[in-house]
Structure 1
Amino acid sequence: MNTQDWHDHVIGKGLAVAGCTALVLTLTSAVAQAQPRDAARQTLAAGDGWGSHGTGTTGGATADAEHVYTVTTWAEFKQALADGGDAPKIIKVKGTIDAVSEGCEAFVTGGYDLQQYLKDYDPAVYGNDKVAMGPQEDARVASMANQDSAIKAYVPSNTTIIGVGEDAAILGGSLQIKDVSNVILRNLTIEAPLDCFPKWDPTDDDNTGNWNSEYDTVVVYGSDHVWIDHNTLTDGRYPDSERPVYFGKVFQQHDGLTDIVRGSNYVTVSWNSYEDHDKNMLIGNGDGLATTDGGKLKVTLHHNRFDGILQRSPRVRFGQVDVYNNHYVVSADQKFDYVWGVGISSQLYATDNAFSLAEGVSVGKVLKKWNESPLTAENNYVNGRLTDLIAVHNAEIPGETLQSGAGWTPALRTKVDPARAVPAIVDHRAGAGRLR
């Protein structure tokens, strides 16, 4: 073989190898593109609400194989939360897990008996001038402590909790995101915990008495960088409409669905479905908490659906809260108090939302005022029509005149959909089992 032949031979082989390599790379790329993304390692996108501020929210995206768990029972779920401390972890919930599988009877202690409790604290017998005290109240407190220990699950920092498939659910558990950072909660149907042992307070409600319950479904307490996405949160099997009435008051067994309190900050709540509940979402839970909540409670709510919700979607204190592209549905046969609560030092910025209100539902009641805190409420649509919610509120409820102008403009927003298109977009995509 002469020099030229040898040169052509080598070049030919090189071209062939290069061609094969290119083909392999092309096929590899095609296979990679065909693989479904791992939603368990997905992080909150840049610019997607307050949760993306600063370091962003990544949850357990970087977890190693040792810290990826698949759980099918409540005990396994709590153990997975406890394992590994704050090391990044991913917990995949498969199927339905029940935190109260043995029923309320499993928590009873000290001789607690509801019928005896009702006899002992009947206002006709006990009166309304002092709080409940005595053996039955002591037994109620002890029984409540048993339930508290069983159903509360504490979520550590750097954790992603995600449902597997379309039917993952948690029943009766209370998820405590407390004093931690960097948590993601996605793709779960979560049925609100039922308080087995509500407290009767004879002195509540201007000394007419009232029932009070514990256990938020999801509580974000003193925590930062949290993303709550594509979940369905509901009273499920135990709607408030079916709770009994004692002493003329509803036997209240539910508290909040998603409360964000005690200096929590940088939270994005997106693409969730909130259904059939009374006290939905508090952002800031006390007027006297300026030292802990002032300058914090920065929360974004977008593309969520609220249906059958009585109040607090959300009620806001202190925080710069951005509310856009949400769909609020109020039917003719449901109780309804208000949607957005304007509380002390709140800076609510609510635009491009859609409301589907049944005939006869007051548009002015969409807003409720507790304190003199201006808000921005623009480009919102009611039953397909552009509506100035502040103007309507002030006209219908003159004793609660609201001022316009929250004093800030959100910078962390993804694509803002036209408000008239929001019902179709959100109803089709919000809630558990609808991750794309």
Structure 2
Amino acid sequence: MTPRHLVPAAAGVGLFRLPAHADTARDISRDVLAADDGWAAYGTGTTAGAGADDAHVYTVTDRTGLVRALDGGSDTPEIIRIAGTIDADTDDSGRRLDCADYATDGYRLKDHLAAYDPRTRGSARPSGPQEEARQASAARQAERVRFTVGSHTTIVGLGRAVLKGASLQVRNADDVIVRNLGLRDAYAMLIGNSDTATGDRGRLRGTLHHDQFESVVQADLVKSWNGGAPHASGTLWGFPRTKSGGSCPVDLPALHNACDSGSERDLTADVGRTPVLHGGIDSAAPADRAVARGAGAGRIR
């Protein structure tokens, strides 16, 4: 999958892909997370919509169908199967929307660009009527493309399904699975808030593996993981080989601590516990091959 803007901010969120040799005859929408498969397996684990009755199993092909299936973030166990490409940035008839459709009174893109041209205005942050109008227009678009995902929900792509221009919001929800789905044309995948958001502690329990991230605009995939301890299979990583044939190993914890001296705490090689919620941990090269071979919508076999 290629997530760009997925916002899980809750416990028990599983984003995963089963091995490529999985049986194609089974219904992948009712798969559950394995008992030892990362933080989303903690406690009661992650089963999402596996127990949904037939009345709460949906196949959707457009934005309207997706909104209806999500039901405003209902906590009723459900399975949502996405077929084809769904563009969130469309009206109820399926017409693609643009800046003009979201423009509030007084906002025009060309006027905004002219008003805040750094060649005439300098580097000061935009402020004033045009910027306020732009923010109002952006809020209108966000309302259109933002979808609330409730607890006990499985969202699964059929074949090479794509959800385009959407923001999946998993907030104050538990037990969610998103898989076999391409997510495109948004901003980033964010887990949590800032490092000072202590309300996240104990809530951000998620599992991600065999996913591929491309052209992520924002730097952080994980904004905050308060109360969690990362597990690493080693502390030395290698940069690409140099022209002379050698490699340049780097101590990641030391590099992090040197570059982020204002963080809440430094990283150390000892996380203070022995991680148990995981299977085998691949080193970088095998992981790269596995992702290239099997990641992405429609790749489950």
Q: Give the corresponding residue for 2:201.
A: 294
* 2:170 alignment partner, SS class: strand
CA distance in 1, matches of 2:39, 2:73: 28
Query: Identity over aligned residues, as a percent?
Result: 38
Q: Give the corresponding residue for 1:259.
A: 190
Q: Give the corresponding residue for 1:103.
A: 97
Q: Report whether the alignment pairs 1:357 with 2:240.
A: yes
Q: Give the corresponding residue for 2:57.
A: 68
Q: Report whether the alignment pairs 1:428 with 2:293.
A: yes
Instruction: Say if 1:97 and 1:171, in contact at 8 Å, map to a contact too.
Output: yes
* Cα drift, residue 107 of structure 1: 1.6
Q: Give the corresponding residue for 1:318.
A: 226
Q: Report whether the alignment pairs 1:156 with 2:150.
A: yes
Q: Give the corresponding residue for 2:168.
A: 175
Instruction: Say if 2:51 and 2:77, in contact at 8 Å, map to a contact too.
Output: yes
**TM-score, length of structure 2 as denominator length:** 0.75
* Cα drift, residue 293 of structure 1: 2.8
Structure 2: runs of 5+ lacking an equivalent: 1-22, 91-95
* 1:87 alignment partner, SS class: coil
Which residue identity is paired with 1:428?
R
Change (3 A) 1:308 1:87: closer
Q: Report whether the alignment pairs 1:48 with 2:37.
A: yes
Larger radius of gyration: 1
Residue-by-residue CA offset, 1:191-216 (whole Å, 9 max, x unaligned): 032xxxxxxxxxxxxxxxxxxxxxxx
Residue-by-residue CA offset, 1:345-375 (whole Å, 9 max, x unaligned): xx33222698673648975496534236354
* Cα drift, residue 428 of structure 1: 0.9
Alignment of 1:54-133 (within 5 A): 54-82=43-71, 85-101=74-90, 102-104=96-98, 105-123=100-118, 125-128=120-123, 131-133=126-128
Q: Report whether the alignment pairs 1:368 with 2:251.
A: no
Instruction: Say if 1:316 and 1:348, in contact at 8 Å, map to a contact too.
Output: no
* Cα drift, residue 304 of structure 1: 3.8
Residue-by-residue CA offset, 1:47-86 (whole Å, 9 max, x unaligned): 1111011111111111111111111001110111017932
CA distance in 2, matches of 1:141, 1:303: 36
Which residue identity is paired with 2:240?
L
* Cα drift, residue 88 of structure 1: 0.9
Change (3 A) 1:312 1:157: same
Higher relative contact order (CA 8 A, sep 6+): 2
Which residue identity is paired with 1:75?
T
* Cα drift, residue 297 of structure 1: 3.2
Instruction: Say if 1:374 and 1:405, in contact at 8 Å, map to a contact too.
Output: no
Instruction: Say if 1:60 and 1:88, in contact at 8 Å, map to a contact too.
Output: yes
Change (3 A) 1:179 1:313: closer
Change (3 A) 1:305 1:47: same
Instruction: Say if 1:41 and 1:62, in contact at 8 Å, map to a contact too.
Output: yes
User: Aligned pairs, how many?
Assistant: 262
CA distance in 2, matches of 1:313, 1:429: 21
Q: Report whether the alignment pairs 1:144 with 2:9.
A: no
113-122 or 44-53, which moves further after superposition?
113-122
Structure 1: runs of 5+ lacking an equivalent: 1-33, 194-253, 262-284, 321-346, 376-402
* 2:231 alignment partner, SS class: strand
**TM-score, length of structure 1 as denominator length:** 0.53
